[in-house]
Structure 1
Amino acid sequence: MALDFTEYFERYEAIVAEVDAVFEKFETEMPDLVKCGKGCSDCCHALFDITLAEAIYINKKFNEKFSGLERSEILQRADQADRQIHKLKRKVYKMSQEGKPPSEVLHEVSRARVRCPMLGDDDLCAMYEHRPITCRLYGVPTSIGGEAHTCNQAGFKGGEKYPTVNMDIVLDRLITIGKDLQKGVDSRFKDLGDMLLPLSMAIVTDYNEEYLGVKGKEKPAPKKAAQVGTSFTGSGKAEEAGKSAAAESKKPAAGKGKDEACASCTESESACATCDLKTITLGGGK
Protein backbone atom coordinates (compact mmCIF):
# COMPACT_ATOMS: atom_id res chain seq x y z
CA MET A 1 0.00 0.00 0.00
CA ALA A 2 1.33 3.45 -0.95
CA LEU A 3 2.49 5.67 1.89
CA ASP A 4 0.25 8.65 2.65
CA PHE A 5 2.20 11.90 3.15
CA THR A 6 -0.85 14.20 2.97
CA GLU A 7 -0.56 15.45 6.55
CA TYR A 8 3.12 16.34 6.18
CA PHE A 9 2.61 17.95 2.77
CA GLU A 10 -0.12 20.19 4.18
CA ARG A 11 2.18 21.31 6.99
CA TYR A 12 4.95 21.99 4.49
CA GLU A 13 2.62 23.98 2.24
CA ALA A 14 1.60 26.08 5.26
CA ILE A 15 5.26 27.05 5.78
CA VAL A 16 5.57 27.82 2.06
CA ALA A 17 2.59 30.18 2.33
CA GLU A 18 4.18 31.98 5.29
CA VAL A 19 7.50 32.30 3.47
CA ASP A 20 5.82 33.66 0.33
CA ALA A 21 3.98 36.23 2.46
CA VAL A 22 7.26 37.34 4.03
CA PHE A 23 8.90 37.75 0.60
CA GLU A 24 5.89 39.70 -0.64
CA LYS A 25 6.21 41.97 2.39
CA PHE A 26 9.80 42.76 1.42
CA GLU A 27 8.77 43.42 -2.19
CA THR A 28 5.98 45.76 -1.07
CA GLU A 29 7.93 47.69 1.55
CA MET A 30 11.38 47.69 -0.11
CA PRO A 31 10.72 47.54 -3.86
CA ASP A 32 13.97 49.34 -4.71
CA LEU A 33 16.07 46.77 -2.84
CA VAL A 34 14.49 43.49 -3.98
CA LYS A 35 15.77 42.94 -7.51
CA CYS A 36 14.25 39.52 -8.27
CA GLY A 37 12.67 39.25 -11.70
CA LYS A 38 11.88 36.84 -14.51
CA GLY A 39 15.05 35.59 -16.16
CA CYS A 40 17.35 36.28 -13.20
CA SER A 41 18.95 32.94 -12.34
CA ASP A 42 21.64 33.90 -9.82
CA CYS A 43 19.96 31.79 -7.11
CA CYS A 44 19.78 28.82 -9.50
CA HIS A 45 23.54 28.32 -9.19
CA ALA A 46 23.69 28.39 -5.40
CA LEU A 47 24.59 25.31 -3.37
CA PHE A 48 22.09 24.25 -0.70
CA ASP A 49 20.32 21.24 0.78
CA ILE A 50 16.64 20.56 1.39
CA THR A 51 15.01 18.65 4.24
CA LEU A 52 13.29 15.25 4.04
CA ALA A 53 9.68 16.48 3.91
CA GLU A 54 10.54 19.06 1.26
CA ALA A 55 12.47 16.47 -0.77
CA ILE A 56 9.55 14.01 -0.80
CA TYR A 57 7.09 16.79 -1.66
CA ILE A 58 9.16 18.10 -4.58
CA ASN A 59 9.83 14.54 -5.75
CA LYS A 60 6.07 13.90 -5.94
CA LYS A 61 5.42 17.12 -7.87
CA PHE A 62 8.30 16.34 -10.24
CA ASN A 63 6.96 12.86 -11.00
CA GLU A 64 3.47 14.27 -11.59
CA LYS A 65 4.63 16.98 -13.95
CA PHE A 66 7.41 15.55 -16.09
CA SER A 67 7.66 12.66 -18.53
CA GLY A 68 9.34 11.83 -21.80
CA LEU A 69 12.18 13.89 -23.23
CA GLU A 70 11.75 16.83 -20.84
CA ARG A 71 12.05 14.51 -17.84
CA SER A 72 15.13 12.84 -19.31
CA GLU A 73 16.83 16.19 -19.87
CA ILE A 74 16.20 17.27 -16.27
CA LEU A 75 17.48 13.96 -14.91
CA GLN A 76 20.59 14.33 -17.04
CA ARG A 77 21.22 17.78 -15.56
CA ALA A 78 20.62 16.31 -12.09
CA ASP A 79 23.33 13.73 -12.76
CA GLN A 80 25.74 16.47 -13.83
CA ALA A 81 24.98 18.46 -10.67
CA ASP A 82 25.58 15.40 -8.47
CA ARG A 83 28.96 14.84 -10.15
CA GLN A 84 29.97 18.44 -9.41
CA ILE A 85 28.83 18.14 -5.81
CA HIS A 86 30.79 14.89 -5.41
CA LYS A 87 33.97 16.58 -6.68
CA LEU A 88 33.42 19.48 -4.31
CA LYS A 89 32.96 17.07 -1.40
CA ARG A 90 36.29 15.45 -2.20
CA LYS A 91 37.98 18.83 -2.43
CA VAL A 92 36.73 20.15 0.91
CA TYR A 93 37.40 16.81 2.58
CA LYS A 94 41.02 17.07 1.45
CA MET A 95 41.15 20.64 2.80
CA SER A 96 39.88 19.41 6.17
CA GLN A 97 42.44 16.60 6.21
CA GLU A 98 45.15 19.17 5.57
CA GLY A 99 44.05 21.06 8.66
CA LYS A 100 42.35 23.99 6.93
CA PRO A 101 40.09 25.91 9.36
CA PRO A 102 36.31 25.31 9.08
CA SER A 103 35.80 28.94 8.02
CA GLU A 104 38.05 28.40 4.99
CA VAL A 105 36.26 25.16 4.14
CA LEU A 106 32.85 26.82 4.33
CA HIS A 107 34.12 29.73 2.23
CA GLU A 108 35.13 27.26 -0.47
CA VAL A 109 31.63 25.77 -0.38
CA SER A 110 30.01 29.21 -0.58
CA ARG A 111 31.97 29.98 -3.75
CA ALA A 112 30.69 26.88 -5.54
CA ARG A 113 28.43 27.41 -8.54
CA VAL A 114 26.33 24.33 -9.28
CA ARG A 115 23.55 24.70 -11.83
CA CYS A 116 20.16 23.58 -10.58
CA PRO A 117 18.75 20.78 -12.76
CA MET A 118 15.41 22.62 -12.83
CA LEU A 119 16.95 25.63 -14.60
CA GLY A 120 16.06 25.47 -18.28
CA ASP A 121 17.98 26.85 -21.23
CA ASP A 122 15.63 29.85 -21.14
CA ASP A 123 16.92 30.70 -17.61
CA LEU A 124 13.50 29.90 -16.16
CA CYS A 125 12.68 27.39 -13.42
CA ALA A 126 10.85 24.30 -14.71
CA MET A 127 9.26 23.83 -11.27
CA TYR A 128 8.83 27.44 -10.20
CA GLU A 129 5.46 26.83 -8.54
CA HIS A 130 6.96 24.10 -6.37
CA ARG A 131 10.50 25.46 -5.93
CA PRO A 132 12.28 24.93 -2.57
CA ILE A 133 11.85 27.36 0.31
CA THR A 134 15.47 28.51 0.03
CA CYS A 135 14.72 29.65 -3.53
CA ARG A 136 11.61 31.50 -2.36
CA LEU A 137 13.65 33.63 0.04
CA TYR A 138 16.68 34.24 -2.15
CA GLY A 139 16.95 37.96 -2.83
CA VAL A 140 16.01 39.19 0.67
CA PRO A 141 18.23 39.25 3.80
CA THR A 142 18.35 35.93 5.63
CA SER A 143 20.38 34.84 8.64
CA ILE A 144 21.91 31.50 9.60
CA GLY A 145 23.56 31.17 12.98
CA GLY A 146 23.20 34.93 13.47
CA GLU A 147 25.13 35.79 10.27
CA ALA A 148 23.24 37.64 7.55
CA HIS A 149 23.33 36.91 3.82
CA THR A 150 21.62 38.20 0.70
CA CYS A 151 21.73 37.94 -3.08
CA ASN A 152 24.54 39.77 -4.87
CA GLN A 153 21.98 41.22 -7.28
CA ALA A 154 19.86 42.80 -4.52
CA GLY A 155 20.13 46.39 -3.38
CA PHE A 156 20.76 45.59 0.29
CA LYS A 157 24.10 47.02 1.46
CA GLY A 158 26.62 45.52 3.85
CA GLY A 159 26.82 47.24 7.22
CA GLU A 160 23.18 48.42 7.07
CA LYS A 161 20.39 47.04 9.28
CA TYR A 162 17.40 45.37 7.66
CA PRO A 163 14.58 43.06 8.74
CA THR A 164 16.04 39.60 8.21
CA VAL A 165 14.44 36.17 7.85
CA ASN A 166 15.72 33.79 10.52
CA MET A 167 16.47 30.63 8.53
CA ASP A 168 17.36 28.67 11.68
CA ILE A 169 13.71 28.78 12.74
CA VAL A 170 12.48 27.86 9.26
CA LEU A 171 14.90 24.91 9.13
CA ASP A 172 13.88 23.72 12.60
CA ARG A 173 10.21 23.69 11.56
CA LEU A 174 10.99 21.72 8.40
CA ILE A 175 13.09 19.20 10.30
CA THR A 176 10.28 18.80 12.83
CA ILE A 177 7.97 17.76 9.98
CA GLY A 178 10.60 15.26 8.84
CA LYS A 179 10.92 13.79 12.33
CA ASP A 180 7.15 13.48 12.64
CA LEU A 181 7.08 11.80 9.23
CA GLN A 182 9.75 9.38 10.44
CA LYS A 183 7.56 8.42 13.39
CA GLY A 184 4.41 8.39 11.27
CA VAL A 185 5.76 5.78 8.85
CA ASP A 186 7.32 3.85 11.76
CA SER A 187 10.82 4.07 10.28
CA ARG A 188 13.63 2.13 11.91
CA PHE A 189 16.13 4.81 10.80
CA LYS A 190 16.45 7.09 13.82
CA ASP A 191 18.22 9.88 11.89
CA LEU A 192 15.84 9.89 8.93
CA GLY A 193 14.10 13.10 9.98
CA ASP A 194 17.41 14.99 10.10
CA MET A 195 18.29 14.09 6.52
CA LEU A 196 19.48 16.89 4.22
CA LEU A 197 20.14 16.38 0.52
CA PRO A 198 20.53 18.39 -2.68
CA LEU A 199 17.58 18.89 -5.01
CA SER A 200 19.38 16.94 -7.73
CA MET A 201 19.32 13.85 -5.51
CA ALA A 202 15.80 14.47 -4.20
CA ILE A 203 14.14 14.18 -7.61
CA VAL A 204 15.78 10.86 -8.54
CA THR A 205 15.10 9.08 -5.24
CA ASP A 206 12.24 6.60 -4.82
CA TYR A 207 10.79 7.34 -1.39
CA ASN A 208 9.22 3.93 -0.92
CA GLU A 209 8.82 1.83 2.21
CA GLU A 210 12.23 0.21 1.82
CA TYR A 211 14.07 3.50 1.40
CA LEU A 212 12.30 5.08 4.36
CA GLY A 213 13.01 2.06 6.54
CA VAL A 214 9.42 1.16 7.30
CA LYS A 215 9.65 -1.67 9.81
CA GLY A 216 9.29 -5.04 8.19
CA LYS A 217 10.96 -3.89 4.97
CA GLU A 218 14.58 -4.90 4.55
CA LYS A 219 17.09 -2.56 2.98
CA PRO A 220 20.41 -1.04 4.12
CA ALA A 221 19.89 2.23 5.99
CA PRO A 222 20.35 5.43 3.97
CA LYS A 223 23.47 7.34 4.86
CA LYS A 224 23.19 9.93 7.60
CA ALA A 225 22.16 13.43 6.66
CA ALA A 226 25.70 14.80 6.89
CA GLN A 227 26.86 12.24 4.32
CA VAL A 228 23.88 12.33 1.98
CA GLY A 229 23.64 16.06 1.48
CA THR A 230 26.19 18.78 0.89
CA SER A 231 27.44 19.00 4.44
CA PHE A 232 30.77 17.71 3.15
CA THR A 233 31.66 15.38 6.02
CA GLY A 234 33.60 12.16 5.98
CA SER A 235 35.67 11.05 8.93
CA GLY A 236 38.31 12.45 11.24
CA LYS A 237 38.87 16.16 10.93
CA ALA A 238 36.43 16.51 8.04
CA GLU A 239 33.64 15.01 10.13
CA GLU A 240 34.50 17.24 13.07
CA ALA A 241 34.43 20.30 10.83
CA GLY A 242 31.06 19.25 9.43
CA LYS A 243 29.60 18.71 12.89
CA SER A 244 30.88 22.10 13.98
CA ALA A 245 29.30 23.78 10.96
CA ALA A 246 26.02 21.94 11.46
CA ALA A 247 25.90 22.90 15.12
CA GLU A 248 26.59 26.51 14.23
CA SER A 249 23.82 26.59 11.61
CA LYS A 250 21.24 25.32 14.11
CA LYS A 251 21.94 27.85 16.85
CA PRO A 252 18.72 29.69 17.76
CA ALA A 253 19.71 33.04 16.33
CA ALA A 254 16.61 34.68 17.73
CA GLY A 255 17.23 33.39 21.24
CA LYS A 256 17.81 35.76 24.13
CA GLY A 257 21.43 36.82 24.44
CA LYS A 258 22.32 35.20 21.13
CA ASP A 259 22.84 38.41 19.17
CA GLU A 260 22.51 42.16 19.39
CA ALA A 261 19.25 42.13 17.44
CA CYS A 262 17.42 40.40 20.28
CA ALA A 263 18.84 42.49 23.12
CA SER A 264 15.99 44.99 23.03
CA CYS A 265 13.20 42.42 22.62
CA THR A 266 10.64 42.59 25.42
CA GLU A 267 8.98 39.24 24.67
CA SER A 268 9.56 36.12 26.76
CA GLU A 269 12.07 33.58 25.44
CA SER A 270 9.20 31.33 24.33
CA ALA A 271 8.37 33.91 21.66
CA CYS A 272 11.61 33.07 19.83
CA ALA A 273 10.02 29.94 18.42
CA THR A 274 7.55 31.99 16.35
CA CYS A 275 9.81 34.91 15.43
CA ASP A 276 10.77 34.75 11.76
CA LEU A 277 11.81 38.35 11.21
CA LYS A 278 14.30 40.43 13.11
CA THR A 279 16.55 43.40 12.40
CA ILE A 280 20.25 42.65 12.14
CA THR A 281 23.20 44.18 10.38
CA LEU A 282 23.82 42.72 6.94
CA GLY A 283 27.36 41.40 6.71
CA GLY A 284 27.82 41.21 10.47
CA GLY A 285 28.73 44.86 10.91
CA LYS A 286 28.07 46.65 14.21
Structure 2
Amino acid sequence: MALDFTQFFERYEELVSEVDAVFNKFETDFPEQVRCEKGCSDCCYALFDLSLVEALYVNHHFRERFAGLERNDIMERAADIDRQLFRLKRELWKASQAGKSTEEIFETVARTRMRCPMLGEGDLCVMYDKRPITCRLYGVPTAIEGKGHTCAKSGFKGGEKYPTVHVDMIHERLMDISRDIAEHLGSKYKAIHEMLVPLSMALVTDYNEDYLGVRKPGDDAKPEAAAPAPQPQASGASIPKMEDAPSEACNTCDSDKSLCASCKENSFSIVLGGDDE
Protein backbone atom coordinates (compact mmCIF):
# COMPACT_ATOMS: atom_id res chain seq x y z
CA MET A 1 0.00 0.00 0.00
CA ALA A 2 1.42 3.37 -1.03
CA LEU A 3 1.22 5.85 1.83
CA ASP A 4 -0.53 9.08 0.84
CA PHE A 5 0.16 12.16 2.96
CA THR A 6 -1.35 14.69 0.52
CA GLN A 7 -3.91 16.13 2.94
CA PHE A 8 -1.28 16.65 5.61
CA PHE A 9 1.23 18.12 3.17
CA GLU A 10 -1.43 20.61 2.10
CA ARG A 11 -1.90 21.70 5.72
CA TYR A 12 1.85 22.00 6.10
CA GLU A 13 2.10 24.11 2.94
CA GLU A 14 -0.59 26.43 4.32
CA LEU A 15 1.63 27.00 7.36
CA VAL A 16 4.63 27.53 5.07
CA SER A 17 2.68 30.20 3.18
CA GLU A 18 1.91 32.00 6.44
CA VAL A 19 5.58 31.86 7.48
CA ASP A 20 6.71 33.17 4.08
CA ALA A 21 4.22 36.05 4.37
CA VAL A 22 5.68 36.95 7.77
CA PHE A 23 9.23 36.91 6.39
CA ASN A 24 8.16 39.04 3.41
CA LYS A 25 6.66 41.59 5.78
CA PHE A 26 9.94 41.78 7.68
CA GLU A 27 11.74 42.40 4.38
CA THR A 28 9.31 45.23 3.60
CA ASP A 29 9.29 46.81 7.07
CA PHE A 30 12.99 46.30 7.91
CA PRO A 31 14.88 46.39 4.59
CA GLU A 32 18.14 47.47 6.25
CA GLN A 33 18.04 44.74 8.87
CA VAL A 34 17.02 41.74 6.73
CA ARG A 35 20.17 41.03 4.74
CA CYS A 36 19.34 37.66 3.20
CA GLU A 37 20.53 37.43 -0.39
CA LYS A 38 21.29 34.81 -3.00
CA GLY A 39 24.54 33.03 -2.19
CA CYS A 40 24.41 33.73 1.56
CA SER A 41 24.51 30.34 3.25
CA ASP A 42 24.94 31.21 6.93
CA CYS A 43 21.69 29.45 7.84
CA CYS A 44 22.80 26.34 5.93
CA TYR A 45 25.29 25.50 8.68
CA ALA A 46 22.91 25.78 11.65
CA LEU A 47 21.68 22.72 13.55
CA PHE A 48 17.97 22.10 13.99
CA ASP A 49 15.46 19.26 13.97
CA LEU A 50 12.40 18.50 11.88
CA SER A 51 8.99 17.36 13.07
CA LEU A 52 7.46 14.21 11.59
CA VAL A 53 5.41 16.09 8.98
CA GLU A 54 8.42 18.13 7.82
CA ALA A 55 10.64 15.04 7.69
CA LEU A 56 8.05 13.21 5.56
CA TYR A 57 7.58 16.25 3.33
CA VAL A 58 11.29 16.79 2.69
CA ASN A 59 11.85 13.06 2.18
CA HIS A 60 8.96 12.80 -0.30
CA HIS A 61 10.09 15.69 -2.48
CA PHE A 62 13.74 14.67 -2.29
CA ARG A 63 12.93 11.20 -3.63
CA GLU A 64 10.67 12.68 -6.31
CA ARG A 65 13.26 15.15 -7.49
CA PHE A 66 16.56 13.28 -7.35
CA ALA A 67 17.71 9.95 -8.70
CA GLY A 68 20.86 8.10 -9.65
CA LEU A 69 24.27 9.56 -8.89
CA GLU A 70 22.89 12.94 -7.84
CA ARG A 71 20.70 11.33 -5.18
CA ASN A 72 23.56 9.10 -4.03
CA ASP A 73 25.90 12.09 -3.67
CA ILE A 74 23.40 13.95 -1.49
CA MET A 75 22.70 10.87 0.62
CA GLU A 76 26.41 10.30 1.14
CA ARG A 77 26.74 13.88 2.39
CA ALA A 78 23.75 13.30 4.67
CA ALA A 79 25.27 10.08 6.05
CA ASP A 80 28.54 11.91 6.76
CA ILE A 81 26.66 14.60 8.69
CA ASP A 82 24.83 11.90 10.67
CA ARG A 83 28.20 10.50 11.73
CA GLN A 84 29.30 13.96 12.86
CA LEU A 85 26.03 14.50 14.72
CA PHE A 86 26.39 11.12 16.41
CA ARG A 87 29.80 12.12 17.78
CA LEU A 88 28.50 15.55 18.81
CA LYS A 89 25.54 14.05 20.63
CA ARG A 90 27.77 11.68 22.56
CA GLU A 91 30.11 14.52 23.53
CA LEU A 92 27.22 16.70 24.69
CA TRP A 93 25.67 13.86 26.66
CA LYS A 94 28.99 13.23 28.41
CA ALA A 95 29.24 16.96 29.14
CA SER A 96 25.78 16.92 30.71
CA GLN A 97 26.81 13.97 32.87
CA ALA A 98 29.92 15.89 33.92
CA GLY A 99 27.76 18.72 35.23
CA LYS A 100 27.63 21.17 32.33
CA SER A 101 24.37 23.13 32.40
CA THR A 102 21.67 22.82 29.77
CA GLU A 103 22.26 26.46 28.80
CA GLU A 104 25.97 25.80 28.25
CA ILE A 105 25.14 22.76 26.13
CA PHE A 106 22.72 24.73 23.98
CA GLU A 107 25.34 27.42 23.52
CA THR A 108 27.74 24.75 22.27
CA VAL A 109 25.10 23.53 19.82
CA ALA A 110 24.43 27.08 18.61
CA ARG A 111 28.13 27.57 17.88
CA THR A 112 28.50 24.25 16.04
CA ARG A 113 28.47 24.55 12.26
CA MET A 114 27.73 21.68 9.86
CA ARG A 115 27.13 22.09 6.15
CA CYS A 116 23.60 21.07 5.10
CA PRO A 117 23.63 18.13 2.64
CA MET A 118 21.23 20.08 0.43
CA LEU A 119 23.72 22.94 -0.03
CA GLY A 120 25.07 22.58 -3.54
CA GLU A 121 27.44 24.41 -5.87
CA GLY A 122 27.63 28.16 -5.54
CA ASP A 123 26.31 27.85 -1.97
CA LEU A 124 22.77 27.41 -3.32
CA CYS A 125 20.15 25.07 -1.87
CA VAL A 126 19.29 22.31 -4.36
CA MET A 127 15.77 22.07 -2.95
CA TYR A 128 15.16 25.69 -1.99
CA ASP A 129 11.43 25.70 -2.75
CA LYS A 130 10.90 22.77 -0.35
CA ARG A 131 13.23 23.95 2.42
CA PRO A 132 12.07 23.58 6.05
CA ILE A 133 10.35 26.35 8.01
CA THR A 134 13.43 27.03 10.14
CA CYS A 135 15.33 27.94 6.96
CA ARG A 136 12.51 30.29 5.95
CA LEU A 137 12.68 32.22 9.23
CA TYR A 138 16.43 32.50 9.57
CA GLY A 139 17.42 36.15 9.34
CA VAL A 140 14.52 37.65 11.31
CA PRO A 141 14.03 37.86 15.10
CA THR A 142 12.61 34.68 16.61
CA ALA A 143 11.88 33.49 20.13
CA ILE A 144 12.26 29.88 21.29
CA GLU A 145 11.07 29.12 24.81
CA GLY A 146 11.21 32.84 25.56
CA LYS A 147 14.79 33.31 24.36
CA GLY A 148 15.55 35.56 21.40
CA HIS A 149 17.55 34.53 18.35
CA THR A 150 18.51 36.11 15.06
CA CYS A 151 21.11 35.71 12.34
CA ALA A 152 24.49 37.19 13.22
CA LYS A 153 24.69 38.66 9.70
CA SER A 154 21.40 40.56 10.02
CA GLY A 155 21.10 44.19 11.02
CA PHE A 156 18.88 43.52 14.04
CA LYS A 157 20.62 44.86 17.16
CA GLY A 158 20.52 43.49 20.67
CA GLY A 159 18.66 45.59 23.21
CA GLU A 160 16.26 47.08 20.65
CA LYS A 161 12.64 46.05 20.24
CA TYR A 162 11.43 44.34 17.07
CA PRO A 163 8.45 42.21 16.09
CA THR A 164 9.35 38.61 16.93
CA VAL A 165 8.24 35.28 15.49
CA HIS A 166 7.32 32.89 18.30
CA VAL A 167 8.68 29.60 17.01
CA ASP A 168 7.03 27.62 19.82
CA MET A 169 3.61 28.40 18.32
CA ILE A 170 4.74 27.15 14.92
CA HIS A 171 6.18 24.05 16.55
CA GLU A 172 2.81 23.34 18.17
CA ARG A 173 1.08 23.46 14.80
CA LEU A 174 3.68 21.12 13.32
CA MET A 175 3.12 18.74 16.22
CA ASP A 176 -0.64 18.87 15.65
CA ILE A 177 -0.24 17.86 12.00
CA SER A 178 2.25 15.16 12.97
CA ARG A 179 -0.14 13.81 15.58
CA ASP A 180 -2.92 13.66 12.99
CA ILE A 181 -0.61 11.73 10.66
CA ALA A 182 0.05 9.16 13.38
CA GLU A 183 -3.68 8.83 14.06
CA HIS A 184 -4.43 8.55 10.35
CA LEU A 185 -1.91 5.73 10.04
CA GLY A 186 -3.15 4.06 13.20
CA SER A 187 0.51 3.82 14.15
CA LYS A 188 1.34 1.34 16.87
CA TYR A 189 4.04 3.71 18.06
CA LYS A 190 2.24 6.09 20.40
CA ALA A 191 5.05 8.68 20.48
CA ILE A 192 6.06 8.68 16.82
CA HIS A 193 4.51 12.12 16.25
CA GLU A 194 6.88 13.53 18.87
CA MET A 195 10.06 12.32 17.17
CA LEU A 196 12.41 15.04 15.94
CA VAL A 197 15.19 14.31 13.46
CA PRO A 198 17.84 16.39 11.66
CA LEU A 199 17.34 17.00 7.94
CA SER A 200 20.18 14.62 7.14
CA MET A 201 18.33 11.72 8.75
CA ALA A 202 15.05 12.73 7.09
CA LEU A 203 16.78 12.32 3.72
CA VAL A 204 18.22 8.85 4.33
CA THR A 205 15.31 7.29 6.23
CA ASP A 206 12.88 4.97 4.44
CA TYR A 207 9.51 6.07 5.81
CA ASN A 208 7.74 2.83 4.95
CA GLU A 209 4.85 1.11 6.71
CA ASP A 210 7.13 -0.80 9.07
CA TYR A 211 9.03 2.30 10.13
CA LEU A 212 5.82 4.28 10.70
CA GLY A 213 4.18 1.44 12.61
CA VAL A 214 1.24 0.84 10.28
CA ARG A 215 -0.64 -2.08 11.75
CA LYS A 216 -0.98 -5.36 9.92
CA PRO A 217 -3.50 -8.15 10.54
CA GLY A 218 -2.55 -9.96 13.74
CA ASP A 219 -0.61 -7.05 15.26
CA ASP A 220 -1.14 -6.49 18.97
CA ALA A 221 -3.60 -3.61 19.44
CA LYS A 222 -1.63 -2.26 22.41
CA PRO A 223 0.42 0.81 21.40
CA GLU A 224 4.16 0.57 21.75
CA ALA A 225 6.27 3.29 23.31
CA ALA A 226 8.71 3.88 20.49
CA ALA A 227 9.25 3.73 16.78
CA PRO A 228 11.92 1.43 15.41
CA ALA A 229 15.46 2.65 14.97
CA PRO A 230 15.89 4.71 11.76
CA GLN A 231 16.75 2.73 8.64
CA PRO A 232 19.26 4.85 6.68
CA GLN A 233 19.65 4.15 2.98
CA ALA A 234 23.29 5.18 3.07
CA SER A 235 26.13 4.17 5.32
CA GLY A 236 26.75 5.93 8.61
CA ALA A 237 25.42 6.10 12.14
CA SER A 238 22.24 7.97 13.00
CA ILE A 239 22.04 10.80 15.50
CA PRO A 240 21.00 9.39 18.89
CA LYS A 241 17.98 11.07 20.46
CA MET A 242 18.40 9.68 24.02
CA GLU A 243 14.62 9.42 24.36
CA ASP A 244 11.91 6.87 23.55
CA ALA A 245 13.18 5.74 20.17
CA PRO A 246 15.99 3.16 20.19
CA SER A 247 19.16 4.66 18.78
CA GLU A 248 22.67 3.83 17.71
CA ALA A 249 23.88 5.32 21.00
CA CYS A 250 21.78 2.83 22.94
CA ASN A 251 23.11 -0.02 20.84
CA THR A 252 26.74 0.95 21.43
CA CYS A 253 26.42 2.21 25.01
CA ASP A 254 28.50 0.17 27.46
CA SER A 255 26.78 1.52 30.58
CA ASP A 256 24.44 -0.47 32.77
CA LYS A 257 20.93 -0.41 31.28
CA SER A 258 19.54 0.87 34.58
CA LEU A 259 20.98 4.24 33.54
CA CYS A 260 18.61 4.52 30.56
CA ALA A 261 16.09 6.56 32.56
CA SER A 262 18.72 9.11 33.58
CA CYS A 263 19.83 9.39 29.95
CA LYS A 264 16.29 10.31 28.96
CA GLU A 265 16.02 12.83 31.78
CA ASN A 266 19.15 14.56 30.52
CA SER A 267 18.15 14.47 26.85
CA PHE A 268 17.89 17.56 24.67
CA SER A 269 16.98 18.36 21.10
CA ILE A 270 19.05 20.28 18.61
CA VAL A 271 17.12 23.47 17.84
CA LEU A 272 17.46 26.60 15.80
CA GLY A 273 21.09 27.72 15.83
CA GLY A 274 22.65 31.14 15.44
CA ASP A 275 24.00 33.76 17.81
CA ASP A 276 21.68 35.28 20.37
CA GLU A 277 20.97 38.94 20.22
What is the aligned partner in structure 2 of residue 273 from structure 1?
A: none
Answering whether residue 97 of structure 2 is matched by residue 97 of structure 1, we say yes
Scaled by the length of structure 1, the TM-score of the pair is: 0.80
Question: 1:76 Cα deviation (Å)?
Answer: 1.1
What is the aligned partner in structure 2 of residue 242 from structure 1?
A: 267
Instruction: Give, as a single letter, the amino acid of the residue that structure 1 aligns with 2:264.
Output: E
Question: 1:96 Cα deviation (Å)?
Answer: 1.0
The CA distance in 2 between the partners of 1:138 and 1:230, in whole Å, is 25
Where do residues 84-233 of structure 1 align in structure 2 (5 Å cutoff)?
A: 84-216=84-216, 221-223=227-229
Question: 1:237 Cα deviation (Å)?
Answer: 5.0
What is the aligned partner in structure 2 of residue 38 from structure 1?
A: 38
What is the aligned partner in structure 2 of residue 265 from structure 1?
A: none
Percent sequence identity is 54
The CA distance in 2 between the partners of 1:230 and 1:152, in whole Å, is 29
User: Tell me, which stretches of 5 or more residues in structure 2 are unaligned?
Assistant: 231-237, 244-249, 251-259
- Whether the aligned pair in 1 keeps the contact of 2:82 and 2:239 (CA below 8 Å) is no
RMSD: 2.3
Q: Secondary structure at the match of 2:164?
A: strand
- Whether the aligned pair in 1 keeps the contact of 2:141 and 2:149 (CA below 8 Å) is yes
Question: 1:72 Cα deviation (Å)?
Answer: 1.4
User: Tell me, which stretches of 5 or more residues in structure 1 are unaligned?
Assistant: 250-281
Question: 1:221 Cα deviation (Å)?
Answer: 3.0
Instruction: Give, as a single letter, the amino acid of the residue that structure 2 aligns with 1:70.
Output: E
- Whether the aligned pair in 2 keeps the contact of 1:117 and 1:200 (CA below 8 Å) is yes
The CA distance in 1 between the partners of 2:159 and 2:229, in whole Å, is 40
What is the aligned partner in structure 2 of residue 2 from structure 1?
A: 2
Scaled by the length of structure 2, the TM-score of the pair is: 0.83
Instruction: Give, as a single letter, the amino acid of the residue that structure 2 aligns with 1:79.
Output: A
Question: 1:222 Cα deviation (Å)?
Answer: 2.4
What is the aligned partner in structure 2 of residue 28 from structure 1?
A: 28
Change (3 A) 1:18 1:49: same
**For each residue in 1:110-166, what CA deviation from the matched residue of structure 2 results, as whole angstroms up to 9, or x when unmatched?**
111111000013100000000000000000001001111000110000111100000
- Whether the aligned pair in 2 keeps the contact of 1:197 and 1:230 (CA below 8 Å) is no
Aligned length: 245
Q: Secondary structure at the match of 1:83?
A: helix
